[in-house]
Structure 1
Amino acid sequence: MSSEHAHHLENPGATTPPPKLDLVSSVPAPPAPDNAEAMTILVTLPPGSAGNPPHRHTGPAFGYLIRGEMIFELEGEPQRVIKAGEAFWEPGGDVIHYQDGNNLPDAETEFVVTMFGVAGQPMLIPVSAEELEERRDRRAPRP
């Protein structure tokens, strides 16, 4: 994340300090589908929730963890824990999203995600057990 994303407009008539803007995440040229529809959703995972089963999205998704901890795993990448204040993204399309579960057994996890999907298509597309088996070699080794 570079300083070229820092934005501030001079406001000579202001009587209060300017807004503070911090870049949380940046992805150059993300792959947005044609006829994209942007949607922003707030997700609350109950304590210990496994989250959604393996799925994919029709386009990229950009998220920010508000509170808690999420186990996050995309095809070809090792699983990782995302903590409050951290951002995440996924390219969507053919990439399988294996995990988005709550890493905390005794507290909720909450995140906001903006997705750019194909208009009229479901936000989550489940992946069959057969396809998971066919693509087993694309999943990073499990801890």
Structure 2
Amino acid sequence: MSIDQAHAHQLESPDKSGPLPKIEIVATVPGAPPAPEGAEAMTILVTLPPDSPGAPPHRHSGPAYGYVVKGAINFELEGEPVRVVRAGEAFWEPGGDVIHYQDGNHLADEESAFVVTMFCAPGQPMLIPVSPQELEARRDRRAPRA
């Protein structure tokens, strides 16, 4: 069964005067981690100026799901190689004890923007910077870089 079949939605409109919406699956995350108990869901829009490095290495207290609305971003999680996520594509990260190394603008001459929904543990900030000492201690967990 394809993703589209597994997540198909049947819509019937009581107002027959207009067309039904088009629904497209952009991404799914099988086995995604649950949100922390009592989590606050927060959706933010991040706009990156041309050539912006984005946030410094950090982690989130819960999972985060995002969608690039304009441009392209460099996306790197601990243990995974850097990948470029382009407008119209989605990304996710599990949160918790996983370092998010990069979320910078891949483009040197255009803005890029993404929307992300995070599930933050109560009393925790949405973004927790990682110290240089911890980055060094976990150096072996970062995927090789070109």
| Alpha-carbon distance between aligned partners in 1 of 2:16 and 2:97, rounded to the nearest angstrom | 48
Q: What's the % identity of the aligned pairs?
A: 68
Q: Please give the root-mean-square deviation of Cα atoms over the aligned residues, in Å.
A: 1.1
Shift of 1:54: 0.3
Q: Deviations over 1:53-78 (max 9, x none)?
A: 10000000000000101000000000
Of 75, 80, 94, which residue of structure 1 is paired with 2:78?
75
Structure holding more strand per residue: 1
1:18 equivalent in alignment to 2:20: yes
| Alpha-carbon distance between aligned partners in 1 of 2:5 and 2:44, rounded to the nearest angstrom | 28
| Alpha-carbon distance between aligned partners in 1 of 2:129 and 2:14, rounded to the nearest angstrom | 53
Unaligned runs of 5+ in 1: none
| Alpha-carbon distance between aligned partners in 2 of 1:84 and 1:122, rounded to the nearest angstrom | 27
Match runs of 1:35-114 below 5 Å = 35-114=38-117
Shift of 1:4: 1.7
Unaligned runs of 5+ in 2: none
Q: Which runs of 4+ in 1 moved over 6 A?
A: none
Contact between 1:40 and 1:112, CA under 8 Å: does it hold in 2? yes
The residue aligned with 1:34 is 37
**What letter corresponds to residue 88 of structure 1 in structure 2?**
F
| Alpha-carbon distance between aligned partners in 2 of 1:4 and 1:10, rounded to the nearest angstrom | 19
Q: Provide the TM-score with structure 1 as the length reference.
A: 0.95
| Alpha-carbon distance between aligned partners in 1 of 2:109 and 2:15, rounded to the nearest angstrom | 49
